[in-house]
Amino acid sequence: MKLTILGSGTCVPSLKRNASGYLLEAEGKEVLIDCGSGVLLQLERAGNSYKDIDALFLTHGHPDHFADLMPLIHALFYTPNFTREKDFSIIAPQGFRQYYDTAIGSILGESKDFHIVFMEAADNMEFGPWSICTTSTVHSADSIAYRFELGERSVVFSGDADYDQGLIALSEKADLLIADCSFPDAMKVNGHLSAKECGLLAQKAEVKTLVLSHIYPADTPDEDRVTEAKEHFNGEVILAEDLMEFII
């Protein structure tokens, strides 16, 4: 599996960090996990193309996690000299289909060449080569985390989340955990993990590598979060940067 971080930031506009978005590739399949503002252009910068994306897995319905979905669908419909034929899947929490139909589908309509296929995120799913598990997270009413497994390899995306046992269980012995590290410990906010909590989560779950992402601006350097997480986690800790790549 190959993972590219397209957006390691938040709703706060930044020239360094785009809003949340990750590209996961394996065996000819390409999926997005979240699609916040800036992700569409980041795909191009990463040397990939929106034309090839098979699916979007959405963690929850906050704009910094799906704002580029409308531009993505718009581009798939109307790019000159391009006709998409394969279906595009949207896997999302309960209720998102209604939002899409009202706010996106009502404006863009439908394509005569391919279908947009909606699936409600379930505890256990299969898509392409992956086996996928989910759990609800402590953030919003619809927020979920995803675990993608291929053979003996695994990667977990916490989405926006606070510290809880469900997320620990989902992350157990994962090769890579992409964790919401919104703030350093001194700025802890309910509904988001602090750097300390990211470290505790990774240690409890016995993950191999912890990647701190969803980085809000703070009064201290972003790199300080790595130091805080390492105080509680013995494994590798990496501060996410846009366009960073991992082979899992």
174 part of a folded domain: yes
Q: How many domains does the chain have?
A: 1
Q: What is the pLDDT of residue 88?
A: 98
CATH number at residue 25: 3.60.15.10
Q: What is the pLDDT of residue 208?
A: 98
194 part of a folded domain: yes
Q: What is the pLDDT of residue 24?
A: 98
Which are the contacts of 132, defined by CB distance < 8 A and separation ≥ 6? 57, 124, 125, 126, 146, 147, 148, 149
**Strands 209-213 and 2-7, sheet pairing:** unpaired
221 part of a folded domain: yes
Q: What is the pLDDT of residue 69?
A: 98
176 beta partners:
155, 209
**pLDDT digits (tens), the chain, 248 positions:** 999 999 999 999 999 999 999 999 999 999 999 999 999 999 999 999 999 999 999 999 999 999 999 999 999 999 999 999 999 999 999 999 999 999 999 999 999 999 999 999 999 999 999 999 999 999 999 999 999 999 999 999 999 999 999 999 999 999 999 999 999 999 999 999 999 999 999 999 999 999 999 999 999 999 999 999 999 999 999 999 999 999 99
Which are the contacts of 38, defined by CB distance < 8 A and separation ≥ 6? 6, 7, 18, 19, 21, 68
Full residue range of the structural domain in which residue 21 is found: 2-241
160 part of a folded domain: yes
Contact in structure between 7 and 242 (CB atoms under 8 Å): yes
81 part of a folded domain: yes
- Find, among 167, 168, 154, 245, the residue nearest to 204 by Cα: 168
156 part of a folded domain: yes
101 part of a folded domain: yes
Q: What is the pTM of this model?
A: 0.97
- Find, among 60, 73, 98, the residue nearest to 192 by Cα: 60
Q: What is the pLDDT of residue 161?
A: 98
pLDDT tens-digit profile of 133-178? 999 999 999 999 999 999 999 999 999 999 999 999 999 999 999 9
Q: What is the pLDDT of residue 139?
A: 97
Q: What is the pLDDT of residue 77?
A: 96
Radius of gyration over every alpha carbon of the chain, rounded to an integer in angstroms: 17
248 part of a folded domain: no
